[in-house]
A and B are shown apart, each in its own frame.
Chain A
Amino acid sequence: MATVVTAEFSNMVPPLAPERAVTWPKRASAQLANGLKVVLAETHSIPKFHGELYFRAGNALVSERAPGLAEMAATVVRTGTTKRTSRQIEEDLRRLGADLGSSAGQDTSAISFAGLSEFSEPILDLVNELAREAAFPEAEFERERRQKLEEVKLERSSPGFLAGERLRKVLFGAHPYGIVSPSEKQVAAYRREDLLETYQEIYTPENALLLLVGDFDSAAMLKSIEKIFGSWQGKKPAAKESVAPPRPQGRRVYLVHNPGSVQTQILTGVHAITRKHPDWVRLGLTNSLYGGAFNSRLVMNIREDKGYTYSPRSGVSPLQQHGYFTVSAAVRNDVVAASLTEIFYELDKLRSVPVPAVELADAQNYVAGIFSMGLATQDGLLSQLSTVELNELPADYLETYRQKVRNVTSEEMLATARKYFDSANMQIVVVGERSQIEEQASLFGPLEVFDALGNTLS
């Protein structure tokens, strides 16, 4: 692949050697009679394997019963089965050299695990047991509920949490995505029966996807999987219609007052697209050039030129039903207005001036290059496969992605920025000490003030 070397580099810089082909490992996939989809990829870097057992439903499915219910169910899943106590589970994992986590987001629930290849069968046995025979012991549930109560209090002291929570409320309103975490009251009202019901509904083979990456023989592994998971039965839950999220028009500012802050967390956001959308590659590349890489325009501007912040970045968050684009930076209190000005300046510049060929090529090399890094580790490859399978992307997605990135033109990038870097309707959240930032923030739109609990302050 020919690469443009930018003219500004010293002519001493060694040119790139010919590129070695990137060969993605073959994937074996199967669907068991009970509906469980299985995808396997062999990679023999270390004598271990990494896996995910995904269920295609999470908090959003059960949000009407209570926010965060699927997550709470996932937390309690690992605390006991009909065969093993919590302590046995933890000690068995250690004995097998395994790590395991159970979690849920808005759209999925998952049991994630990794361990030594020599113990792959007993590890899968345990995963199977958690997926089918979790017992939700009363005492374990009660402890986890009390833990969660402390956690939901504690998270309100984190500026990043407060910013993310407010932005999601603004962008998604009454849609389940509008709530990122339950309140204390909601956690206090969780009941064991609700968790159990959620578990029975979500954790079924027809709703599940098992991904394994690592040091194993695929044919033998498939046999083990058939043996272990084959007798599992269960239908997928009925799909649920969610209300349409609001599409906020015009810039507005939401200030979350965090007394004593010595820095301001800025987070701006606007609706964008999901992972399946045909514009995804173009938007990903445009984002990378804007604020998704170290050498991106935003980082160059507000970090390397102006020194306003350590950690500026932008990104596209793709959820299953909707996606959104965000820009974030934790900045010095006296440069909140200056930082927002530069954030919008760089967005608008991409909306009005075509990206020079050299800069486009640099961004394409970056996005294509880091995509291949996923090849080099088991968990990197697992995360790539997860993206493909959960979003039902084409089978050749990994093989063709880099070429798609390199096919993007400067004109397409301009069109993409105009479509998605919708600066006029971008919502602005600032978390910090009100007395130091309210005046600056109010320059950017009508402003509302909230406390850390979400109450409006006058």
Chain B
Amino acid sequence: MKQLQIPIEYKTLKNGLGVVIAPDTAAPVVTLGVYYKIGFRLEPQGRSGFAHLFEHMMFQGSENAAKMQHIKLINSSGGVLNGSTMYDVTNYYEAVPSNALERVLWLEADRMRALKVDDENLKNQRDVVKEEVRVNVMNQPYGGFPWLDMPPVAFRNWANAHNFYGDFADLDAASLADVQNFFRTYYLPNNAVLLLLGDVKPDEGFVLAEKYFGGIPEGAPPPFADPAEPPQKEERRGYVEEKFGTLPAMAVGYLMPARRTPDWFAMAMLDQALHGGRAGRIHRELVLEKQVAVEADGGIDDIFGYNGPTQMTTRILHKPEYSSEQALAAFDEVLREVKEKGIASDELEQIKVKWRSDYYSTLEGGRGGYMPRYGLMHLLACFTLFDKEPGLVNSILDGFLNVKHDDIQRMADKYLRSENRAIVFRTPVSKDAKEAA
């Protein structure tokens, strides 16, 4: 068995900025990322959707690079860029020919130092974000299902339960003062990590990181609102109308153990037994064997990248001739079998091979052919921000490969309980739509 080892170097600048470098000179391409340890979980109450709106504002202008120059500079250097807001982190990243490394560093440092935006920029991006919400959620069949439908049903702490894309009234209420305040509070070198991957020599990379980021002053450690949930005692259910789609849908989410605990490693393997593609038990039973469902998939979303309550979620679109309760009963039957009999030893061995293979692919790519090493960047960032240990990227695989056969049944029994789950039913409202189709 050939184990992949990624060379990694890690330093922390005086202002608290973590710098992680993973060199690989095979192609003259460098991937650069800046991760801030703030996501939509901890955005201010009354400002749902703000962390994401703010992420858009980071492309609207900084001290020495006016609106559009961020985008122009990267594209005209032959590279691509984007950003994304997640539960507990927000990232900004670029992949460029390596001769553009220094200007990308300059750009990221410039917007870490000072954001320079006005009301017009805010109004513009508020409009853009609303269209983003419409195109991804409000005007799409099963839009936001279940990632926006599940939190208010499953969770009680506002941090975990609110609308992460934002209620339009909250987006409208967001002001320029909110933008600058959020920036001052969270967008600090001591709340961030810089990642340089690919065609960069570590020594030069650290010198450049110091040159561009070393002078940015650190700030007071950001407040950390505890996202812990009160204990759940019974199953929770919620109902959402489906405006466009033709099939009844449901999502079932089970609370996960904390990251990097022994249970967490074992749950990941159980998740693969249940959701691992067409060989996974849920797809196999519901779609291929019993043929109750048209789609049945799911898993633990971004397993390395969360830092608060999260779930393993199954998403099912089932045939209209079955009631929701019948579909749920078929799903429960799959879980009951694992709880009673566990899984076959051979099944676990297959899962481990597939897991290792998938892990390598995650490190190499993850955002299509134009964003090399996105996955490696993401894992290094999360392991640095949450664990202060980027080297986990090379060692964490063993934790999964060492899961024992008995652990699987034990996990199923311990976590796949009704008092540990929430269910969202998303039901088509329009009878007409169904008949017309």
Contacts and interface: CB of A to CB of B under 8 A. Distances in A.
B313 to A, nearest CB: 20
Interface residues of B, number: 92
Contacts of A370: 78-80, 370
Contacts of A117: 2
A113 B126 CA distance: 42
A189 interface: no
A373 B2 CA distance: 26
B99 interface: yes
B369 A379 contact: yes
A150 B101 contact: no
Given A17-B101, A90-B279, A116 B372 contact: no
Contact of B369 (A91, A303, A363, A373): A373
B148 interface: no
B170 interface: no
Given A17-B99, A114-B361, A263-B138, A294 B75 contact: yes
B64 A10 contact: yes
Contacts of A116: 353, 356-357, 360
Nearest to B347: A91
B360 A309 contact: no
Interface in A91-138: 91, 93-99, 114-118
A10 B64 CA distance: 7
Contacts of A220: none
Contacts of B98: 17, 20
B65 A46 contact: no
A10 B65 CA distance: 7
B99 A19 contact: yes
Interface string A2-36: 01001011101111111111100000000000000
Contact of B2 (A21, A47, A93, A261): A47
A457 to B, nearest CB: 12
A152 to B, nearest CB: 9
A115 B2 CA distance: 13
A147 B350 CA distance: 27
A84 B373 CA distance: 36
A279 B81 CA distance: 28
A383 interface: yes
A154 B131 contact: no
A350 B175 CA distance: 38
Contact of B123 (A46, A156, A307, A453): A307
A9 B67 CA distance: 11
Contacts of A99: 277
A12 B353 contact: no
A263 B134 contact: yes
B228 interface: no
Contacts of B106: 12-14
B64 A154 contact: no
Nearest to A161: B141
Contacts of B68: 295, 300, 304
B363 A46 contact: yes
Contacts of B99: 16-20
B45 interface: no
A158 B106 CA distance: 42
Given A45-B26, A97-B353, A373-B80, A6 B97 contact: no
B139 A369 contact: no
Contacts of B134: 262-263, 330, 332
A158 to B, nearest CB: 6
Interface string B69-107: 101110111111100000000000001111111110111
Given A45-B364, A263-B138, A380-B365, 20 more contacts: A8-B69, A12-B64, A17-B99, A19-B97, A21-B28, A22-B28, A48-B360, A48-B361, A90-B279, A97-B353, A97-B356, A97-B358, A263-B134, A294-B81, A304-B124, A307-B125, A366-B78, A372-B97, A373-B370, A376-B372
12 contacts: A9-B73, A14-B106, A17-B100, A116-B360, A150-B246, A294-B81, A308-B127, A331-B131, A369-B78, A372-B27, A372-B78, A372-B97
